[in-house]
A and B are shown apart, each in its own frame.
Chain A
């Protein structure tokens, strides 16, 4: 639940999603769901020469299970808040 809530707060930010097949997609976070599936808008593949497979795609749905990393803007994260929330969640579990 923690990361679901966290991503909901990040909607509207530019993020880069790196997938488990090494593909990296940059875009604006449009929405997220309980499975941490991610919908991005205005997408661009990071290495377009290596991965021309998505050249004509501008909006996409990324299945949560396929995500390796979600790269966030450094000033888009309140690390202390996240740290506190994670500590509370760990204690609760």
Chain B
């Protein structure tokens, strides 16, 4: 359906969220609303750096407010498992500038 981009299909799936301040948070989508506020369970933040591999900070149950949300990606667990995070080097994402 081309007229609704609901997040229903992603509920109970592991998603990767890119927030407007440039953070990458991974967790299980538990709920959302029309405004795209989301509830993320078992979440952790992936911190990218140019000096060392990816760090994971455990966060737990989070509500992310809609105005801070940039991208919600469906995480492919097989692909994710094949990545070696200790080898990844990258600049952190830039914050969104309107």
Contact code string B50-90 (vs A, CB < 8 Å = 1, else 0): 00000000000000001101111111110110010000101
A58, B76: Cβ atoms under 8 Å?
yes
> A31 contacts the other chain (Cβ, under 8 Å)?
yes
Contact between A57 and B73, CB atoms less than 8 A apart: yes
- Whether the Cβ atoms of A60 and B36 lie closer than 8 Å is no
- In the bound complex, residues from chain B placing their C-beta under 8 Å from that of A8 are 2-3
Provide the main secondary structure of the chain B interface. Answer: loop
Give the contact-size bracket for chain A.
20 to 34
Known pairs A20-B98, A57-B75 / 6 extra A-B pairs, C-beta < 8 Å: A8-B3, A31-B1, A53-B24, A54-B73, A60-B71, A66-B70
> Which 6 residue pairs of A and B lie closest in terms of their CB atoms, listed nearest first?
A57-B73, A56-B80, A60-B73, A56-B79, A61-B72, A66-B70
